[in-house]
Amino acid sequence: METIYLNPENLPYRKLKAKQSVMALGFFDGIHNGHRKVIQTALEIAKKKNLPLTVMSFFPHPKTVLSNGKTKVDYLMPLSDKAKLFCELGVDIFYIVEFDREFASLLPEKFVAKYLLDLGVVHVVAGFDYTYGFRGEGNMDRLKRDSGEILEITKVNKVECGGVKISSTCIRKKLSKGNVEDLPAFLGRSYEVGCEWNGSALRIRPYYTLPAPGRYAVTLSGGCHSQEMDVVVTSENELIPLLSISELVLNSDTTVLVTWHQRIIEAGKDSKTEHNWVHPSKFSFVWSG
């Protein structure tokens, strides 16, 4: 998969290089089951048309730019993780648009012309509530008209879990309450964050979000090795391991990956009433390859 960063300066060059494609549109933070439905729908169309599948996302988050940095966005994953998952989902090209005030001021018709038609897009797939252009005035019901009737459009309906719309906002709320055990049903996988070891605690890397303070059952992974244990999330956004971490994990050249399974104790709660998860063993190593 090819990752391409787009901005006004390189758009003319990318226009010359572009080939026809089917494109999935969205911010795709977390790549949850709603996002997967959009991408899978686009992939099916791309295969039928024998065209490559492209995905277009944006960075930084529009709320950050439009609030002049006053609104803090708790990202669920960095762009590198998005790229990895997109590749696994069959995406051929991942476009990342530099979201700034100039881009935000584009009229809907200009966005469609410059960032879709000029890049060879012939069919667009997005969620039912996707918006684009100045003040989000563009939407899926007018996208075909904004393209001069050139684009084919597929609007993906709302995806729910337990009667709740699956969204990045909903997932952030669950993290803020510590409900990590709910997330696989929304994400299609357990939530993961990348951390670095500072000798006494794990510090979260940029563009991830930790769950609320408390004690959690997790798996730590580094390289080919993993270890199950409990960690405590502090109010300083650190993870304190409650067992010694294997040197096999810490000596890896990669980031220590934390996979969240279940909250055991909320911050300030009595462990006798809250502890309801038991490890199968004190230490567990998994070897691959």
Q: Name the pLDDT band for 253 (thresholds 50, 70, 90).
A: low
Report domain 2-157's class. alpha beta
Q: Encode pLDDT of 58-101 as tens digits.
A: 999 888 888 887 788 899 999 999 999 999 999 999 999 999 98
Model confidence at 192: pLDDT above 50: yes
Q: How far is CA 241 from CA 163, 196, 268, 277, in A?
A: 36, 13, 18, 16
Q: Encode pLDDT of 93-124 as tens digits.
A: 999 999 998 999 999 999 999 999 999 999 99
How high is the pLDDT of residue 278? 37
The C-alpha atoms of residue 54 and residue 70 are separated, in whole angstroms, by 32
Model confidence at 284: pLDDT above 60: no
How high is the pLDDT of residue 252? 62
Q: Where are the domains of the chain?
A: 2-157, 182-274
Model confidence at 130: pLDDT above 90: yes
How high is the pLDDT of residue 66? 81
**C-alpha dihedral, 251 to 252 to 253 to 256, nearest 10°:** -110
How high is the pLDDT of residue 69? 76
How high is the pLDDT of residue 185? 97
Give mean pLDDT, residues 177-203: 94
Q: Name the pLDDT band for 127 (thresholds 50, 70, 90).
A: very high
Model confidence at 24: pLDDT above 70: yes
- CATH of span 182-274: 2.40.30
Model confidence at 285: pLDDT above 50: no
At residue 242, what are phi and psi to the nearest 5 degrees? -100, 5
Q: Encode pLDDT of 212-244 as tens digits.
A: 999 999 999 987 889 999 999 998 888 999 888
Model confidence at 267: pLDDT above 90: no
- Mean pLDDT of the residues in the chain: 89
The C-alpha atoms of residue 58 and residue 80 are separated, in whole angstroms, by 13
Of the chain, the percentage scoring pLDDT greater than 70 comes to 91
Q: Name the pLDDT band for 283 (thresholds 50, 70, 90).
A: very low
- Return the minimum-mean-pLDDT range out of 25-34, 35-44, 278-287: 278-287
How high is the pLDDT of residue 268? 63
- Return the minimum-mean-pLDDT range out of 39-43, 150-154, 161-165: 161-165
